[in-house]
Structure 1
């Protein structure tokens, strides 16, 4: 079973690399990068601090801060006061940011339709279910593993 999981992990990394490369192309068509697209997307749901956005994306806060600053410079996002923490403003999308995200998302959706034309929805659902189980197990392991 461990060997099968190792092969699955390799497949997930390969798929992630291919999808990331494709995502860069989708974002580039709108003058953006995959990193900017991801941050636009995560703060479109609700305004977040840079630290919270970084946790949601699973990446370093410093990298998210650089991307956030770029989005603000381009008027795609802005910082607003955080009533819960004066020193950590909330990043929120501007109308231009929402429009840019919508165009990127529309492009991505069209590509997803092509990619999934010959894949049953049940197969995608089953794959997602399995990946969620693996994610849960990894998180459980991390919580129980002794610190080095």
Structure 2
């Protein structure tokens, strides 16, 4: 019978490998719309409601400085705009422009088509079980880290 710590180590390695191949796929999907995956992630983070750069960075789990650079680039390119923040004058909110919404919609449509191809031979229950296991693992890691 396989050893649980060994199996978990192999699962972690598989997750990193999956993250790498999915990241490359995401770059190709975003690239078809003239974007990068990082820009796609920021567009997506602020798609439901405008957020401060710090809040968007927390949502994405990345450094605020990196999101600030991307936010500035998106604003410069007309895909996003900084809006006044009624709760914090020195921390404006980043929101999508109509052009940014169109770019995000194009990326999302392309991603959905890719996902349909990827999942064609995978049972929905298997995907749900994998997601459930990953969410449990993430929860355990956060507990261990004291979050």
**Band the TM-score falls in, shorter-chain normalisation:** over 0.9
1:30-79 residue CA offsets vs partner (Å, 9 max, x unmatched): 00000000000010011111011111111111000000001000000000
Name structure 1 gaps, 5 residues minimum: none
Partner of 1:104: 107
In structure 1, what is the equivalent of residue 38 of structure 2? 35
Moved over 2 A (4+): none
Check if 1:84 corresponds to 2:90.
no
Structure 2, unmatched stretches of 5+, are none
* 1:95 alignment counterpart: 98
* Secondary structure class of the residue paired with 2:87: coil
Match of 2:58 among 51, 55, 58: 55
> Equivalences for 1:63-142 in 2 at 5 Å?
63-142=66-145
CA RMSD of aligned residues (A): 0.8
Give the alignment's TM-score, normalised by structure 2.
Answer: 0.96
Once the two structures are superposed, residues 124-144 of structure 1 have per-residue CA deviations (whole angstroms, 9 ceiling, x without a partner) of: 000000000000001111117
Provide the rounded CA distance (Å) in 2 between the counterparts of 1:35 and 1:2.
Answer: 33
| TM-score under structure 1 length normalisation | 0.96
1:74-95 CA distance string (max 9 Å, x none): 0000000111111100000000
Corresponding pairs, count: 144
